[in-house]
Amino acid sequence: MNTLEKPDKARPSPVRRRLGKVQIPKVTLAHGGGGKAMRDLIDDVFVSAFYNDALAPLEDQARFDMSALAKHGDRLAFTTDSYVVDPLKFPGGDIGKLAVCGTVNDLAVGGAKPLYLTCSVIIEEGVEVETLREIARSMAKTAKEAGVEIVTGDTKVVDKGACDKLFINTAGIGVIPANIILGADRAEPGDAVLVNGLLGDHGATILNARGDMALTTPIESDCAALNALINGILKAAPDVRFFRDATRGGLATVLNEVALASDVGIEIFEDKTPIRTEVKGFCEILGLDPLYLANEGKLVCVVPDEQADAALKAMQAHSLGKEAALIGHVTDKRPGRVVMRTVFGGERIVDMLVGEQLPRIC
């Protein structure tokens, strides 16, 4: 049981009932019809993987004591995101791990302690039930490692061709401690810009996993929950201005959002920006810019310059930050612009991505 949830003596924990089981290998429209087939699918795939006391009653909502939530802070953080990816499973993760990590990270970059997630799925008729079981188990494992619980959800089945195998929506609730104030509008000239590691791995992995290029480059997604890393950074550098996970649109998009919101310039250095050699080569072949590639375990951090060294050391001490680097600074020059100093000594504007650099990957 999550230590947050202290059971009321008048409300004993629900008795664990016998769960239903799906007896056929593939999902049919009957599994979305609201009857026994649907109940069996929910029991077999999701309840068995996610089981906890908040989920067990299978009411239309999960219920929590406000006093227990308030012990963690004075503000509630609430987020939602939807996940579509092809293929469903890829080197370094799958759509289930992606959904949990993405929502945990969206809470954590606001300074919140992530606590609870929802899981809603839209399943295409004909999907293998065992594939769903594997993805649900992956979600459960990832949630446990991140210290959150999946407490409620929804299941829909649509006709074959009406969706691409499986779509997942996850919403999340967390609590922000009173002393933490973060935002894209808080960057100031002189602040340092840090990242926790190699950029672009997720985007390159997904494109490579589709097999369109028949490349054998060994690249794995960086998909990971960042809340423990963020906790460590905040302890070392309590005056952090801003966190953001650099997902769709990559590093370039995040930096442009900060520059615009804070009305500052940002200057980064090409030789200090960590990108895997294989990803650089991959991008050169395809004519892509790795600064715009998606990440699912990479963090952009803006911190006062006097706390930059402490923040960098905290990153590097964590398994998800061994390749962390200070890549640039906030300036008062060219407000709203991001500029990269190249290895040749020149400058180039790093603009906001217009449209899609790649087919949709998340």
Residue 36 has pLDDT above 90, yes or no: yes
Give CA–CA dist 361/168, Å, rounded: 13
Residue 8 has pLDDT above 90, yes or no: no
Using 50, 70 and 90 to split pLDDT, how confident is the model at 279? very high
Give CA–CA dist 191/305, Å, rounded: 5
Instruction: Return the SS3 of 271.
Output: helix
Residue 6 has pLDDT above 50, yes or no: no
Alpha-carbon distance values, 333 to 104, 194, 206, 264, 265 (Å): 35, 19, 37, 7, 5
Give CA–CA dist 228/108, Å, rounded: 9
Report pLDDT digits (tens) over 138-153: 999 999 999 999 999 9
Residues listed for the chain? 362
Q: For the chain, how far is it from start to end, CA to CA, in angstroms?
A: 32
pLDDT at residue 14 in the model: 61
Using 50, 70 and 90 to split pLDDT, how confident is the model at 109? very high
Residue 233 has pLDDT above 70, yes or no: yes
Give CA–CA dist 43/133, Å, rounded: 11
Residue 4 has pLDDT above 50, yes or no: no
Non-local (6+) Cβ contacts of 127 within 8 A are 26, 27, 165, 166
Domains of the chain, each with CATH number or no CATH: 29-176 (3.30.1330.10), 184-349 (3.90.650.10)
Pure H helices in the chain:
36-41, 48-50, 66-70, 95-108, 129-146, 201-209, 227-236, 250-262, 277-286, 308-316
Q: What is the pTM (predicted TM-score) of this model? A: 0.93
